[in-house]
């Protein structure tokens, strides 16, 4: 493909394509975390308990994680424009269904969430592959820096936006929105339709496609394997890591199925998911560091709002606003990190970014019930600056370590590892927190004998749980900081599409 032309040699508008891709991907990916602060509201509206309502988040993570491996096949088989339009159509249908779901049909809202997750599983890898294709090697860091605005900021802003929507009614462009859970979906629905219409006009086919057959065995193994692992990790919040039926059994079976899936892929002439890219040590290392970045980001994003609402008594909106400056720092730092990656490569940026994440996480172990929110905001900003500095340079370095004809498969593998790591990391941090709280809770007899003492000790037990979770998050950051020194110096240039890197 010549620069500024599509696969048919027709001129393309790179700026319009990237803008539509980023906006469309943003409104899709933001749904990954948007319902977090709305769960209590949805429990009341649908008359369901905590364990049931959490499936709205669980189903999204599971379907998204299952779809990511499939994305490599879809990107190879379906022209770029039609694949992106299909994702937008599926998302629009899912969002519309969620908006009109009656409160006596909770199952229908779960179906809507699954449709949204299918779209997210397609656009996340597609956005990276298209960005790598539209821009040459010299501008690759800047391009993926823009992608980082979406992948980093959308999940970070989701809880704040939902808190703002639920807090009260607002006037937006002459329309009254907010005040109820339906507005979470109603606000993004018109945007999805607008992006869909404009994409019909401006989007072009920029990725090479070829006729490849879908290996049903691989599809089943990847769906069952990754699905069971993600299911088991999601159920930790309802049970514990020692529960065999709902946690250990699904994860053990899932790992065994994944092992068979990997073995099968390595013996296929045209694999469904080219796991052989992990034979490239630089790709394997940087993919692991990307996964650790997401554990550091998503895990603390989950724990910190719980602390602010349960211990500090903040509302969903105020807890979201406390984290908003940190979320915005990803947007500020991602393009800057992309610029410096083009000049110096990823190693220095990764080491510096993980050092910031570590320094921003350690003080969280000393939070109390009276810690000023401005202090929490400042620490969170430091952490998210580190995430913004780290994320896209690592992704660029991982893709640069591969041959050009491995980009789609490498992106799918990278995203699969990241999605599973984020899910497992969140489960680990949550389980450590809950386990510590349960172990330190005072006996129920004290509640009757001395309610004040019981309340004080229960509060301390909660703080102990949060401190343990933050300590573990700091350990993940420390591990990533140490591993970053094993990376290559300088910028890693992509290799010609002549063969596979072993």
Q: Report whether pLDDT(181) > 80.
A: yes
Return the pLDDT at 119.
93
Looking at domain 274-502, does it have CATH number 3.30.1230.10? Answer: no
Return the pLDDT at 492.
62
Looking at domain 1-202, does it have CATH number 1.20.1250.20? Answer: yes
For residues 289 and 293, what is the distance between their CA atoms, to the nearest angstrom? 6
Return the pLDDT at 356.
94
Q: Report whether pLDDT(175) > 60.
A: no
Pair 401, 280: CB distance under 8 Å: yes
Confidence of residue 56 (pLDDT cuts 50, 70, 90): confident
Confidence of residue 227 (pLDDT cuts 50, 70, 90): confident
Q: What is the pLDDT of residues 376-420, one digit of tens each?
A: 999 999 998 998 898 878 887 887 777 766 776 777 777 777 777
Domain boundaries defined on the chain: 1-202, 213-269, 274-502
Q: What percent of the chain is modeled with pLDDT above 70?
A: 88
Q: Report whether pLDDT(9) > 90.
A: no
pTM for the predicted model, two decimal places: 0.74
Pair 302, 319: CB distance under 8 Å: no
Three state DSSP letters for 100-126? HCCCCCHHHHHHHHHHHHHHHHHHHHH
Same fold, 1-202 and 274-502: yes
Q: Report whether pLDDT(110) > 90.
A: yes
Return the pLDDT at 112.
95
Structure tokens at 265: 């892929």
- The residues, ordered by sequence, that sit 6+ positions from 72 with a Cβ below 8 Å of its Cβ are 125, 272, 273, 274, 408, 409, 411, 412, 413
Q: What is the pLDDT of residues 59-100, one digit of tens each?
A: 887 788 778 778 778 888 888 899 999 999 999 999 999 999
Q: Report whether pLDDT(168) > 70.
A: no
Q: Report whether pLDDT(500) > 50.
A: no
Q: For the chain, give the mean pLDDT.
A: 81
Return the pLDDT at 292.
85
Region 342-367 average pLDDT: 89
């Amino acid at each position: 493909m010549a620069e500024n032309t599509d696969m048919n040699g027709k001129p393309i508008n790179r700026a319009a394509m990237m803008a539509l891709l980023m906006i469309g991907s943003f409104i899709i990916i933001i749904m990954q975390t948007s319902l977090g602060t709305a769960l209590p509201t949805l429990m009341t509206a649908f008359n369901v308990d905590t364990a049931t309502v959490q499936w709205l988040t669980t189903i999204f993570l599971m379907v998204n994680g299952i779809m990511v491996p499939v994305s490599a096949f879809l990107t190879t088989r379906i022209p770029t424009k039609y694949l992106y339009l299909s994702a937008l159509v599926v998302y629009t249908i899912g969002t519309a269904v969620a908006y009109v779901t009656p409160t006596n049909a909770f199952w229908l809202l779960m179906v809507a969430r699954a449709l949204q997750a299918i779209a997210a599983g397609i656009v996340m890898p597609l956005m990276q592959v298209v960005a790598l294709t539209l821009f040459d090697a010299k501008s690759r860091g800047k391009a993926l820096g823009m992608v980082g605005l979406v992948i980093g900021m959308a999940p970070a802003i989701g809880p704040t936006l939902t808190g703002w929507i639920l807090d009260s009614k607002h006037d937006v462009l002459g329309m009254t929105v907010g005040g109820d859970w339906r507005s979470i979906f109603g606000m993004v629905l018109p945007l999805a339709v607008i992006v869909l219409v404009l994409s019909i006009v401006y989007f072009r086919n920029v990725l090479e496609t070829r006729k490849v057959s879908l290996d049903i065995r691989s599809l089943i193994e990847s769906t069952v394997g990754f699905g069971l692992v993600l299911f088991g990790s999601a159920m930790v919040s309802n049970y514990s890591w020692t529960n065999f039926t709902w946690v250990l059994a699904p994860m053990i079976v899932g790992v065994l199925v994944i092992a068979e899936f990997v073995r099968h892929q390595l013996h296929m002439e045209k694999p469904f998911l080219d796991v052989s890219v992990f034979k490239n040590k630089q790709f394997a290392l940087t993919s692991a560091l990307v996964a650790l970045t997401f554990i550091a980001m998503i895990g603390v994003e989950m724990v910190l709002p719980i602390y602010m609402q349960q211990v500090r008594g903040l509302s969903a909106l105020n807890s979201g606003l406390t984290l908003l400056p940190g979320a915005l720092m990803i947007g500020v730092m991602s393009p800057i990190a992309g610029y410096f990656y083009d000049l110096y490569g990823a190693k220095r940026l990764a080491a510096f970014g993980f050092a910031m994440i570590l320094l921003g996480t350690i003080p969280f172990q000393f939070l109390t019930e009276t810690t000023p929110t401005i202090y929490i905001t400042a620490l969170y900003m430091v952490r998210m600056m580190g995430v913004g500095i780290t994320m896209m340079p690592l992704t660029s370095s991982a893709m640069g370590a591969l041959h050009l004809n491995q980009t789609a498969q490498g992106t799918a593998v990278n995203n699969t590892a990241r999605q599973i790591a984020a899910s497992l990391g969140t489960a680990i941090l949550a389980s450590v927190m809950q386990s510590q709280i349960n172990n330190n809770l005072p006996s129920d007899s004290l509640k009757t004998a001395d309610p004040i003492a019981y309340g004080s000790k229960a509060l301390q037990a909660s703080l102990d749980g949060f401190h343990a979770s933050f300590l573990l998050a700091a350990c993940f950051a420390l591990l990533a900081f140490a591993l970053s020194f094993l990376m290559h110096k300088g910028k890693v240039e992509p290799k010609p599409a002549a063969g596979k890197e072993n």
